[in-house]
A and B are shown apart, each in its own frame.
Chain A
Amino acid sequence: MAGLELRDIRKSFGNTQVLKGLSFQIADGEFLSLVGESGCGKSTLLRIISGLETPDSGEVLIGGEVMNAASPKDRNISMVFQDYALYPHMSVAQNISMPLIMARLPLHARLPLLNKISPSARAIRPEIASEVEAVAKQLRIEHLLNRRPAELSGGQRQRVALGRALVRHPKLFLMDEPLSNLDAKLRVEVRKEITELHQSTGLTFVYVTHDQTEAMTMSHRVALLEKGHLLQLATPSALYADPHSVAVARFIGSPEINILPVDVSSGIARLGETTVPGRAVNMDGSTLFALRPEAARLVDRHDTSTDFKLGFTRHLTEDLGHEVLLHGTLDALPEARFRMRLPKTSDLLSGTSLDTALHVGFDARSLLFFNADGERLRDAAIVAEVREAAQ
């Protein structure tokens, strides 16, 4: 059974179409990230799933049930907001207990004054308190239960927000950029904790982020959105290795993938000294060649072990300790930036200066090809042909 299913979701604000017909399914217990630049519609989609926003058309199914008309509280979901949205006037314990109080106490027992004398409240409150305590223990915030949000650090507030979402054991756990207000070190830590939380609870998670690293490290599958369209929905490794479009290839991976403006005029592609006859398949003047920064390596001038070997001019070196990033241009394609990601231990780099002539080698099977619309050309014949030409 699908934990969540979306069928042709559309949404416009005024004249702007924010979501242009999105459909996909998430399995029960899956961790899915919605990724994209700001304005791609990912937050709107999350709000539609939560019921805070209604779609103009399409259906939202949670646990197999159509939920379009259901209010957020009837969807059995919970949500962690970007800035946590904790109630500033309530203690941590009160914040976490809110969903339980709303679900279990009758209206009259939730009103001021009346709540003090309501017998049902008296019976249910201890039970709620113990559940709140259990969740707090799980998140290691039991010592903060009597504090107010204003007295907490960013990381602690984050945990309270998680606690408030967890306490009701929802079917669906929604998170809207929950790490964006934390500093870099804490972000990595909480990232790990959320993953562990997902594993221990087994809930279905939908996680919105603009940060591809978060999406790649945490999720089973990633849905990449652009301008209201779903570009690709796949596992992190599939997105990285097998992007359907140049937009996906560009978004995933850091540093960004190299796009090589190879001249493929009159049926021949030239890449340095190598020319590739373009007669095969659908390679034409608008075909894009793309190469991951880590697919290229520095080679000796006389090295012939790679399909391609091209002269490289280095402009900038970023030494990160465990790896080195090189920024520069290929001598054959001086108009395009070329980025490389090398393990620190490259002997060829030691003792060189920016003026030193370097050579870059890579294999034809590492190249990705895209047509004019940015769609991937998958035909194996192209790779074979390029490879043949290179040797």
Chain B
Amino acid sequence: MSAAALPKQEWGRRRLAYLLSAPASLLILLIYVLPIVAVFVISFTDYSLVYDGFNFVGLDNYKQMLTDEHFAEAFRNTLIYAAIFIPGAFFLPLVLAIAIQRRRRFRSILEVLYFMPVTSTLTAMTLVWRALLDGNQGAINNMLVSLGLDKVNWLGDGDIVLISIAMVSIWGIIGFNMVLFLAGLTAIPQNLYEAASIDGADHPLDRFFQVTWPLLAPTSLFVSVNTLVTAFKLFDTVAVLTHGGPDRASEVYLYLAYLEGFENFNMAYACALSLVFLAVLFLVAWLQTRMGDRRRTHA
């Protein structure tokens, strides 16, 4: 191979690179870049699918959010839901992972059982949950009655419905987060536990706080961010279980955006809602990277 042929070969490789990345680039443009630009532009108009034509209205859609009580309600519902969902979706799997990891004999079967909900089709299983949570004849209330307790109106009571939804969501995510924690736990070198027990840290609390928890930090960060984003993205369960009811008590952010966009055809307002949502997601992602970086420089 002569030296003069090299640039040509280099050019060949570059052309190949363009060829290889062109389809993906084009699709990213069509599916992500242009739509985001469009969302941005539409959010400053009064566009609606039902009427032809549109006017630029400036920040009106964003101003509307500040006065829209549905927006305030959906925002509040999402936060309440997240506050119930996130601790359960984080700590239950953590405890389960630690307990399961030490059990050599039963580990696989327990892993399979707890993971089942993750694989299942949530819309179908939500149908089952609707039956189980039924206020009159559901299996859960039947059990409560047989224990001598009062029935709970799981889906019909506005003060309880978010707890019910969080319960179903936690049920659906336990296996997912548990598997992540198990992977994180397995990555902790065994000899650190041995060193710890030589150093005298053989109390379970010492083992946890001196070794497990600090070394699990990257996994915990990932799980908590992932869980947070999952909480904000709640949609399916609400759509199947409650339709946002009773009386908007379970109308969460994305469900509101969906209703505004595709039921009321207030496309412009829905776009503004979407952009705010995206801003929150970017903020979370940014915080995650920052925390990750800080840990890395300190480690």
Contact = CB atoms under 8 A, between A and B. Distances in A.
B192 interface: yes
Interface string B183-218: 000000101101111111111011001110011010
Contacts of A72: 197-198, 200, 202
Nearest to B206: A110
B299 interface: yes
Contacts of B205: 107, 110-111
B298 interface: yes
B217 A89 contact: yes
Contacts of A81: 191, 194-195
A322 B93 CA distance: 64
A130 B195 CA distance: 22
Contacts of B209: 110-112
Contacts of A88: 215, 299
Interface hub of A79, A103, A150 (most chain B Cβ within 10 A): A79
A90 B203 CA distance: 19
B195 A103 contact: no
Interface hub of B198, B211, B217, B298 (most chain A Cβ within 10 A): B198
A131 to B, nearest CB: 14
Given A81-B191, A83-B191, A107-B203, A50 B299 contact: no
A71 B197 contact: yes
A87 B192 contact: yes
A103 B217 CA distance: 26
A102 B199 contact: yes
Contacts of A73: 197-202
Nearest to B215: A89
Interface residues of B, number: 23
B299 A99 contact: no
A78 B198 contact: yes
A85 B197 contact: no
A9 interface: no
A148 interface: yes
A88 B200 CA distance: 18
A164 interface: yes
A77 B195 CA distance: 11
Contacts of B199: 73, 78, 98-99, 102, 164
B191 A85 contact: yes
A102 B201 contact: yes
B157 to A, nearest CB: 37
Contact of B197 (A52, A150, A164): A52
Contacts of A98: 196, 199-201, 210
A52 B195 CA distance: 9
Given A88-B299, A89-B217, A110-B206, A103 B191 contact: no
10 contacts: A52-B197, A72-B197, A72-B200, A79-B195, A88-B215, A98-B200, A102-B206, A107-B206, A110-B210, A148-B299
Interface of A: 50-52, 71-73, 77-79, 81, 83, 85-90, 98-99, 102-103, 107, 110-112, 148, 150, 164
What are the 5 A-B residue pairs with the smallest beta carbon separation, nearest first? A102-B200, A73-B200, A85-B195, A89-B214, A85-B191
Given A73-B201, A107-B203, 5 more contacts: A52-B194, A71-B197, A72-B200, A86-B195, A87-B192
